[in-house]
Amino acid sequence: MDIFDKALRYTEAKDVMATGLYPYFLPLEGNEGAEAVYQGRRIVMCGSNNYLGLTTHPRVRQAAIDAIKKYGTSCTGSRFLNGTLELHLELERRLADWVGMESALVFATGMQVNLGTISSIVGRGDTIVLDKADHASLVDGARLSWGDIKRFRHNDMDDLEHVLSSLPDDGGRMVAVDGLYSMEGDIAPLPEIIPLCQKYGARLMVDDAHSLGVLGGGKGAGYHFGMQDDLDLVMGTFSKSLASLGGFIAGDESVIHYIQHHARSMIFSASIPPSNAAAALAALDVMIEEPERVDRLAANADKMRTGLRSLGFDIGDSETPVVPVIIGSDEKTLITCRALLDAGVYVNPVLGPATTPGRQLLRTSYMATHTDEQLDRVLTAFEHVGKELSLIQ
């Protein structure tokens, strides 16, 4: 058997392309945050994780430019060897302070944070416990570890306790959850998860990739519930609210020191370029100095959740700027996505197997920089398309 046979037989994406409904890898000609340009038309961007709208902020742009002028375009090496600048260390100090942890460690991407953290902490005889809706990076980090992997039903505390209570007494254990679930916009119930972790001696890691800049005054899910001191590890990314590229893990100094010397995804990858580190620092400054951005984001999210529900759409349990619109089938989701794009609104389709059967959806997400006029245009487009496709009355 030729190992390439699977590639030669793969036709699903090309079949969708032939229908004109293929929704992925669309080349944007311009991206100004709340709006983008696609095929010469301005469209409202409701498919981005640029929650605070900082990718186009003048201070963030200038910080990246200044860093290139000072340091060049790359460190051309790993953090472990020649790729650590004082700029990286400053970013780590600032991030640790922001999320209320002793220490932080910056990786080249958020994906690499979870791959390196989990695979270095969870070893033979240990167990990693994951929510079934956890991000793929947490799942892949668990797969790279030498530990056992257990899953519990999404946000189901009875099932979590059942899993924890069934673990062997020997060996370490860690629970890893998303703070804000990026597909359906709901939040991990930390006030219930934390006592269970304490009861069964499990450490808790929270992936705050989508929570930073959104929950807890921008500091994440732990702060949202007033329970940050009860978290053991907090992960975050720069590619969302912090308007850059990269990621970090934060926790006790001794644990971060261990990860720093054992996380293969950091040791064997080049460090983030100076421009990305400087942009993330500048975005953090703006977020701290302009807390009204977080408030505006919350107001925009509330407007859209209320508006979409009032139109008759099913938006699940969303309580954040990530607002799913549940359609229910792959074909109808693709058709709706294309109709919205034609109407000037960019959203992301989420199909099986990425979601459970019957919950295929359009993932919409909102920014602090969306204007009321833009959001009204989005609601108008959803109403028109929804009625045209008999999604709503």
- For residues 91 and 202, membership in a common domain is answered with yes
Q: What is the DSSP string of 293-358?
A: HHHHHHHHHHHHHHHHHHHT---TT--SSEEEEE--SHHHHHHHHHHHHHTTEE-EEE-TTSS-TT
Q: Are 280 and 243 in contact (CB under 8 A)?
A: yes
Residue 381 lies in a domain: yes
Share of the chain above pLDDT 70, in %: 100
Of residues 194, 190, 195, the one with CA closest to residue 208: 190
Q: What is the pLDDT of residue 358?
A: 85
CA distance 161 to 303: 36
Cα 147 to Cα 119, 174, 178, 183, 210: the distances in Å are 8, 10, 20, 27, 26
Say which residues have a Cβ less than 8 Å from residue 31's Cβ, sequence separation at least 6: 37, 45, 55
Torsion of CA 139, 141, 146, 149, to 10 degrees: -20
pLDDT per residue over 309-337, tens digit each? 999 999 999 999 999 999 999 999 999 99
pLDDT per residue over 3-37, tens digit each? 999 999 999 999 999 999 999 999 999 988 999 99
Residue 69 lies in a domain: yes
Q: What is the pLDDT of residue 352?
A: 78
- For residues 268 and 382, membership in a common domain is answered with no
pLDDT per residue over 110-133, tens digit each? 999 999 999 999 999 999 999 999
Radius of gyration, CA atoms only, the chain: 21
CATH number at residue 237: 3.40.640.10
- For residues 74 and 222, membership in a common domain is answered with yes
357 is written with which tokens? 């059967």
Residue 92 lies in a domain: yes
Cα 316 to Cα 157, 183, 325: the distances in Å are 19, 11, 8
End residue of a domain, out of 239, 255, 289:
289
Residue 379 lies in a domain: yes
96, pLDDT greater than 80: yes
Residue 88 lies in a domain: yes
CA distance 202 to 367: 35
Q: What is the pLDDT of residue 117?
A: 98
pLDDT per residue over 169-223, tens digit each? 899 999 999 999 999 999 999 999 999 999 999 999 999 999 999 999 999 999 9
- For residues 250 and 345, membership in a common domain is answered with no
Q: Output the 3-class SS for 221-233.
A: HHHHCCCHHHCCE
Residue 113 lies in a domain: yes
pLDDT per residue over 330-366, tens digit each? 999 999 999 999 999 999 999 977 787 889 999 999 9
End residue of a domain, out of 289, 319, 351:
289
End residue of a domain, out of 235, 270, 289:
289
Q: What is the pLDDT of residue 355?
A: 80
Q: Helix H segments across the chain? A: 5-9, 12-19, 58-71, 86-98, 110-121, 136-144, 157-165, 190-199, 221-224, 253-260, 264-267, 274-289, 292-311, 330-342, 372-388
Token pair 């107001």: residue: 299
- For residues 98 and 45, membership in a common domain is answered with no
pLDDT per residue over 28-69, tens digit each? 999 889 999 999 999 999 999 999 999 999 999 999 999 999
Backbone angles phi, psi at 179, to 5 degrees: -70, -45
- For residues 19 and 68, membership in a common domain is answered with no
- For residues 98 and 33, membership in a common domain is answered with no
**Domain of 319, in residue numbers:** 5-55+291-388
CATH number at residue 332: 3.90.1150.10
- For residues 141 and 214, membership in a common domain is answered with yes
- For residues 311 and 367, membership in a common domain is answered with yes
Q: How many domains does the chain have?
A: 2
What 3-state DSSP class applies to 206?
A: strand
- For residues 225 and 106, membership in a common domain is answered with yes
- For residues 179 and 312, membership in a common domain is answered with no
- For residues 245 and 309, membership in a common domain is answered with no
Residue 237 lies in a domain: yes
Residue 393 lies in a domain: no
